Every structure is written in C-alpha cells, then in structure tokens.
Amino acid sequence: MFLSLRYSFTFLFTLLLTSTSPSRIALTATQDLTVTPSATKIAITNHIIQGLTNAGRGTKISGISQFKRHLSRFGYLGNKNNTSFDDVFDATFESAIVRYQRNLGLQVTGKLDSNTVSQMITPRCGDPDTSIAPYNHHHRHNHVTKNFVFFPGKPRWSRSMPMTLTYAFSRENMIHSLSMKEIREAFQRAFQRWASVIPVSFVEVDDFVLAEIKIGFYNGEHGDGEPFDGVLGVLAHSFSPEIGRLHLDAAETWAVDFQATASEVAVDLESVATHEIGHLLGLSHSSMKEAVMYPSLRPRGKRADLNIDDIKGVQSLYGSNPNFRSQWSLESDMSANQGAEFGLKPFSLATSLIIIIVTLVHSLCS
C-alpha cells in the first residue's frame, strides 16, 4: 500500500511543484508555445498533449519528433547526434518508451502517458541511461531489489586501498551567485557521504591541472561535445573512472539553502554534486527513485542522502569503509523477516508529505 500511496504523492508533488515553474507550462499551456525544442528540453503544446496519451503504434502526431530526439539524446534510440526525426509513433519508438519506463522505474505502458511525459520534462543529469541494466538484471535477492548499475567494463579508480583522490575547482569556471565557501562546503558534504561508506577519501587541492577530479561550472558548448542547455533541462554531467571531470551547467540557479534562494527553478547543488560524484566513482544511473543515482531531480528538490542501492553499488566497486556501520543490513534483516523490501518506505512517505505541504504553503504565499 505504501508503494502505491507514495507514487500517487510523488505524482501529485510533480504537479504541485511544476505548477509554479516554467516547465509546468508544458502541461497546462493554453496556446502553442514558441519555445524552440532541444534534445534535452521538450516543449509540449495543448495540441500535442491531447493526442499523446492514446497514441500508439502507427499514429502520427505533430510533436512526436521531439520525444524521439529526447529518447535518442539519453541513449534509447540510435545515434544520439541524429537530429532528424519524424512524427510517426513506430515500433522502434514504442520499444524505446518501454525501455525508458523500465529504466526510470515508471509503469510500463509503451505509451506517452502523463507520468512518462512528466518524467521527460523533469530536469536531469546529462549522462545517458544506456548502461542501465536490462530488465532481467533487476533480480531479487534477500528481498532487496538491486537497481544500481556500473558503466560498461565496470571501470573504477585503481589505487591501493585505502585510497585518497584529490579534487580541485576551476577558478575560471565558477559561478558567483554562491560564495566559494558555500560551494566548497556543499562539495565537502557530498564527497563525505561517499567517503563514509567506502575506503576512499577525498582531499581538495589548489592545483586544478594535477587534481584527479576537476570540477567546474560551464555554459553551453564547453569543449567536450556535451553542450549545456540553459535553465533546467540538463543540470550537470560527469565522466566515468578515471577521467575525473565533473561539469555543472552555469546557467542553473544553484542553491545551498532554499530559504535563501527563492527561485522556483533553484537546483540543490549538494544533491547534484553527490549524484555526479557517484558517476566519477563508477556508478551509472539507477532505476530506483529514492537512489542518489536516479537520473532526475526536480527544481527545489533534494536527494543527497545515499540510499541502500547507492551504498551497495559503490561498495561492490571499492569494498566497505571499515568504520561504516550498516544500518541497512540491520533493516534488511528485519525487513526480510517481515517480507518487506525495505524498512525506509514510511520515512519516504513522510518526507514526501512534508515536501508537499511545504510546496503548498510556498505556492499559496507567493
């Protein structure tokens, strides 16, 4: 029961939150938008929405092409640099939707239903989902569903354990809406989350060139073939081991405190930093919505605490930090006895409720 309740609340949350943000235009537009669609941002008109839900194989609806472009951009439909797509709902498109729905933990309908469209317009990480495990890899073991995924070839940092990795911020590629101290502290907390569960520590150094992990904020095209797209859409991206590059979209309204940053399109720096560090360590996207490695994050949303899925994933690459006392192993023992998947669902539900209430109050006051 918790499961279905939580999903309804999550969806409600989506509607509430997006009702005050520009992306909400997508679902309530009363007139056609003039926004130029890009692969990472979908501009949806009323006209398109009406035909979407029931569209199935063989139908042709103006606007399908941008969904194809989006699915292609994130690894579901052929060459991601392909720019010409038609508006035909064909079998290839349908199977791409099915894979997308599985990978994002949505109900698998093979249709562009409202949950799927809502997910596609949610801001996300720029790394593709291609390496998400195929359906049959989502096996159950001891009542725990395993959703974490590695990059192809399972790359990781090869150093003797325990290892220390250095990181540095690019002086030239910084934002000025937050102080250097705020940025530095958000990253310290993000690195510490991972360091507390694996025998890897992180230390900041001044020398950007020599640092193993290089962090910077960039606008648009910035030299790695993965241009950023302005406000929302893609928030950040990073590279698998041992490349060590972590890039954030400088156009976002980055926040470390939503009380101090009132913008409806504010993005939590610490949550995104924690997610991107997961990539740097070798984790790819998880299909578990509660995992830090889930690919999307709503504006003003937070998801920085490591989930059991993130912890198990990263520990299978690096082993456990000897000081890590697993609350999860206790809970999974308990939940195995009770036949539940995890002991943390009530917490997620409570958190969702608090977020919804806060969002409601916020939107009523503004």
Contact footprint for Zn ion (CB under 5 A): 125, 127, 224, 226, 247
Tell whether residue 63 is among the known ligand binding residues: no
Which of 85, 294 has the CB closer to Zn ion? Answer: 294
- Provide, rounded to whole angstroms, the least separation between the CB of residue 366 and Zn ion: 30
d(CA 34, CA 52): 19
Tell whether residue 51 is among the known ligand binding residues: no
CB 310 within 8 A of CB 148: yes
Helix 308-318 to helix 269-281 angle (10° resolution) is 30
Residue 145: count other Cβ atoms within 10 Å of its Cβ: 13
Tell whether residue 229 is among the known ligand binding residues: yes
Tell whether residue 47 is among the known ligand binding residues: no
Strands 266-268, 253-255: parallel, antiparallel or unpaired by DSSP? parallel
Which of 112, 125 has the CB closer to Zn ion? Answer: 125
The H or E element that residue 216 is part of is strand 213-218
- Provide, rounded to whole angstroms, the least separation between the CB of residue 129 and Zn ion: 9
- Provide, rounded to whole angstroms, the least separation between the CB of residue 245 and Zn ion: 7
CB 215 within 8 A of CB 167: yes
Which residues neighbour 228 within 8 Å (Cβ) at sequence distance 6 or greater?
A: 126, 218, 219, 220, 222, 234, 247, 249, 250, 251
Residue nearest to Zn ion (CB): 125
Which of 125, 273 has the CB closer to Zn ion? Answer: 125
The H or E element that residue 229 is part of is none
d(CA 301, CA 297): 6
Cα Rg for the chain, rounded, in angstroms?
A: 20
- Provide, rounded to whole angstroms, the least separation between the CB of residue 337 and Zn ion: 34
Q: What residues are annotated to the active site?
A: 276
Tell whether residue 293 is among the known ligand binding residues: yes
Tell whether residue 141 is among the known ligand binding residues: no
Which of 219, 329 has the CB closer to Zn ion? Answer: 219
Contacts 24+ apart (CB under 8 A), 89-97: 89/55, 89/56, 89/57, 89/58, 89/59, 89/60, 89/61, 89/64, 90/57, 90/58, 91/57, 93/64, 93/67, 93/68, 94/56, 94/57, 96/68, 96/71, 97/71
- Provide, rounded to whole angstroms, the least separation between the CB of residue 195 and Zn ion: 19
Tell whether residue 70 is among the known ligand binding residues: no
Tell whether residue 161 is among the known ligand binding residues: no
- Provide, rounded to whole angstroms, the least separation between the CB of residue 227 and Zn ion: 8
Which of 206, 221 has the CB closer to Zn ion? Answer: 221
CA dihedral (108, 288, 333, 353) positive or negative: negative
Which of 122, 335 has the CB closer to Zn ion? Answer: 122
Q: Which residues are annotated as a binding site?
A: 125, 222, 224, 229-230, 237, 247, 249, 252, 275, 279, 285, 293
Q: Which residues are annotated as a binding site for Zn(2+)?
A: 125, 222, 224, 237, 247, 275, 279, 285, 293
Q: Which residues are annotated as a binding site for Ca(2+)?
A: 229-230, 249, 252
